[in-house]
Amino acid sequence: MSNAVVPSSGVLVGRAKVLGHAYPRIVTVRDGAVLDITSKTAPTVRDIAELENPAGHVADATGTKLGDVNVIVANSWAAKFDPTIPALLSPIDLQAVKASGVTFVASLLERVIEEQAKGDKAKADALREDVLKLIGADLSQIVPGSPAAMQVKEALIARGVWSQYLEVGIGPDAEIFTKGQPMSTVGFGADVGLHPISSWNNPEPEIVLVVSGAGRIVGATLGNDVNLRDVEGRSALLLGKAKDNNASGSVGPFIRLFDGDFTIETVKTAELSMRVEGEDGFVLDGHSNMAKISRTPESLVEATIGRHHQYPDGLVLYLGTMFAPVKDRDGPGKGFTHKMNDIVSISTSSLGTLSNRVRLSTECAPWTYGVSHLLRDLGKADLL
């Protein structure tokens, strides 16, 4: 997989922690340097996303050089942070944090297995083989909500294996859920958190769309939708506990804004690579091909925002993943689960690389800076 953290081209926008400022600064990258472009016109990333031409605003903005991008990226690792040097934060701020699930057949099958295994990873391999034999061929070319999908649904009900995950995988309605609250995501180099009760969990490498309050897709970034397979496997009603914990969602390193060269069509053909590297020498490589998504990104956005539900400050939307790790880590039949200090890196050439260290959510830095803090600080700085 590519090791480039920052893409070699494109209009990028993000946020950084900068000494002497109580609030995050809005930044971009030009000629290998990070520039502070914070302004009263658009003091938040949300404000930039609401502009008529977000990419044009960032490309034309005057800024102050903060330092070399590689130095700032290196300083963004939580374990190496030097407060005298700027560090990257999650590139989003006031937007709602939403996610879509079961958008790829591969992840759909794993959700069915989780449900039937009731969170017991020891049963997963046998169930996986049975489920693949039963429904793998049926679902490979199915368009969700189509008449053909409804025929498959009836056949699966008759076979006694219908599932709530199959319902959202091939049924008419997509699964859209709240991943976290505004300001709760972490960025490149930050620790990502697992709830201490989980013993079977995994990363989920995804593309994350940035959507304005009017429902317009204005850019994209990378995300890790950290997942607790055992918790969700016990009951889908535990989705909140499985998905929304301290530091359980990472986003970054930057948002790449749509322009003439980078569009939604680029997103639709993106190839994501992911690597997990453990202190025990374990290495897991995975891939997610956006061309194999079962619902279009546009349709997922339409399912999230519209006349049925408004988001005045816009939103970001995790698009789901086809990656479902099954490689054994601690012995045959034991499957994959994280260990503390795993390094997870998610890459695609157009968006760069998002890397994080895995910790328990109780050991990650607590989330203490919210919307109220940001607005008060921006007001004190005369930026509102």
The 10s digit of each residue's pLDDT in 289-336 is 999 898 999 999 999 999 999 999 999 999 999 887 878 898 887 789
Q: What's the pLDDT at 309?
A: 97
Q: Is 10 helix (H, G, I), strand (E, B) or coil?
A: coil
CA distance linking residue 206 with residue 317, whole number of Å: 10
**The one-letter amino acid at 286:** G
Show the DSSP H helices in 102-223 as ranges. Answer: 105-117, 124-139, 147-159, 164-170
For residues 142 and 215, which has the higher predicted lDDT (pLDDT)?
215
Residue of 234 and 148 predicted with greater confidence: 234
pTM for this model (two decimals): 0.92
**350 pLDDT higher than 90:** yes
What confidence score (pLDDT) does residue 132 get?
65
360, 196 in Cβ contact below 8 A? Answer: yes
E strand segments, the chain: 11-17, 25-30, 33-36, 64-68, 87-89, 96-101, 175-180, 191-194, 201-202, 205-211, 217-225, 227-228, 249-257, 271-277, 283-289, 315-318, 343-348, 352-360
CB 101 within 8 A of CB 175: yes
What does the pLDDT read at residue 152?
Answer: 72
| Cβ-Cβ contacts under 8 Å for 141 (sequence gap 6 or more) | none
The pLDDT value given to residue 324: 78
Closest CA to 188 of 43, 315, 80, 285: 80
Report the C-alpha gap between 80 and 115 in whole angstroms: 40
Task: Say if residue 144 is preceded by a cis peptide, omega within 30 of 0.
Answer: no
- Tell me what the mean pLDDT of segment 208-232 comes to: 96
Q: Average pLDDT of the chain?
A: 91
